[in-house]
Amino acid sequence: MPISRALLVAPLVLCLLALGSTSLPSEPHLTPASSYLPRLVVEGRAPAAAFLARRNPRGHGGLYDSAGTGIHAADRFRAGSITKSFVATVVLQLAAEGELGLDDSVEDHLPGVVHGHGNSGALITLRALLTHTSGLYDYMAALPVTDPALTGAAGPSAQSLSPAAAVRIAVAHPPAAARGSYAYSSTNYVLLGMIVERVTGHAYGTEIRRRVIVPLGLTGTSLPGARSTLPLPHARAYHRSGDGTLRDVTSIDPRIAGAAGEIVSTLDDLDRFYAALLGGRLLPPAQQSALLDTRTAGGAYGMGIHPQELSCGTTVWGHGGRITGSRVRAAATRDGRHVFTFRVNTDFPGGRRLETALLEAEFCARRPT
């Protein structure tokens, strides 16, 4: 498929992430985080917002709360760049098995794929891809964002952008940053997905299911591939245009995001995934150490996961995700014993201040102001 047609679906991903509540009888209903949810709806202009907090890393459930209408605890939703945490887990498992090395070059596994315009796969390691220190241009930045006609169900124009085509877009540009410096780029994880397939003979989605989803029993998590619809149950998802209009974008073609952002999940599944990952149940000690080592990225990012220091001195680890119609943030203590995931059913631009306030309300037990 020509790249020019594939670019038409960029808006689907570049937008690429009444009060009601329920709680388990064993948990208190109102928490400081609960008091912040209405602000996500009112100040963040999100139709609805919800969170699930868990302090028992091996159990199901926890404290759930929501604001707005049409959003439920068991909903499946698009989790965007949280996909990167799953991909990094698979790559680190393969490293533990000796199937690849973190200091292997991209050229070792994908000869000739990254070259030209100052780019060289021979000079970029898998470690650099995992930590966003490759310098590679983010292919997402080259895609147009102004076609409002393509924000609904997949139709004749909703063509997928293949991983190889995404990389070609990236390497048609000179590096966006010096190698070794941190610069977030979805191109890195598209390449990692390709490397997983080259090493294992299976698509990265197959390896994520086999190695993470099935062992953890994440029954609400899937890699949709070409499927434009969300599995049931799910709420509606909305994109807010520049003029403030909300448009239903529940059905989109997520393939343009691929290994950088296509995953579908639930609040409970994401809580349990990060509890397992940070609790050391998915990686051997050496790879667990690499996961959390932020030195390569100057403290900004580990491998598929990043730290955030809160005002009370607590550091939480996790990832955010934004894709058309959905914004998600998962955060956990370093031992995985306290996990918190929240979502809104819009791409929610400009909501980072409120997100940080919500995390601080949860992890610092700070009363809202």
Residue pLDDT, tens place only, 226-266: 899 999 999 999 998 877 788 999 999 888 899 999 999 99
- Report whether pLDDT(300) > 70: yes
Q: Supply the DSSP string of 171-207, one letter for each residue.
A: HTS--SS-TTS----HHHHHHHHHHHHHHHSS-HHHH
pLDDT tier for residue 57 given thresholds of 50, 70 and 90: low
Judge whether 159 lies within some domain. yes
244 compared with 64, residue with greater pLDDT = 64
Nearest-CA neighbor of 223 among 234, 209, 211, 202?
209
Identify whether 260 is part of a domain: yes
Whether the predicted pLDDT of 303 surpasses 80 = yes
Which residue has tokens 């989109």?
A: 252
Whether 369 maps to a domain, the answer reads no
277 assigned to some structural domain: yes
Q: Flag whether 235 is in a domain.
A: yes
- Work out the pLDDT band at 113, boundaries 50, 70, 90: very high
For residues 57-76, average pLDDT: 84
Res. 157 pLDDT band, cuts 50 70 90: very low
Two tokens at 257?
């995001």
Average pLDDT, the chain: 86
Instruction: At 351, list the tokens.
Output: 């909501």
Looking up residue 22, the CATH number of its domain turns out to be 3.40.710.10
- Does 368 reside within a domain? no
pLDDT for 309: 97
Q: What mean pLDDT is predicted for residues 187-201? A: 98
Residue 26's pLDDT is what? 37
Distance CA(159)–CA(196), nearest Å, equals 24
- State yes or no: pLDDT of 77 exceeds 60: yes
Q: Which of 74-83, 124-133, 349-358 has the lowest mean pLDDT?
A: 349-358
Torsion of CA 352, 355, 361, 362, to 10 degrees: -140
What is the band of 93 on the pLDDT scale with cuts at 50, 70, 90?
very high
Predicted confidence at residue 60, as pLDDT, reads 58
**64 is a domain residue:** yes
- Split into its structural domains, the chain has a count of 1
Residue 301 located in a structural domain: yes
pLDDT band at 367 (very low <50, low <70, confident <90, very high): very low
Residue 146 has pLDDT above 60, yes or no: no
- pLDDT reading at 351 higher than 80: no
C-alpha span between 165 and 192 (Å, rounded): 14
pLDDT class for 31, splitting at 50, 70, 90? low
Per the structure, the complete domain to which residue 309 belongs is given by 3-363
Considering only residues 286 and 149, tell me which one the structure prediction assigns the higher pLDDT. 286
pLDDT at 9 > cutoff 50: no
Q: Which residues contact 170 (CB under 8 A, 6 or more apart)?
A: 119, 136, 137, 138, 139, 142, 185, 187
32-36, 100-104, 152-156, 272-276: least confidently modelled range: 152-156
Greater confidence, 245 or 192?
Answer: 192
pLDDT of residue 64: 94
Q: What are phi and psi of 307, to 5 degrees?
A: -90, 155
Place of tokens 């598209």: 190
Q: Is the pLDDT of residue 154 over 50?
A: no
Whether the pLDDT of residue 195 is over 60: the answer is yes
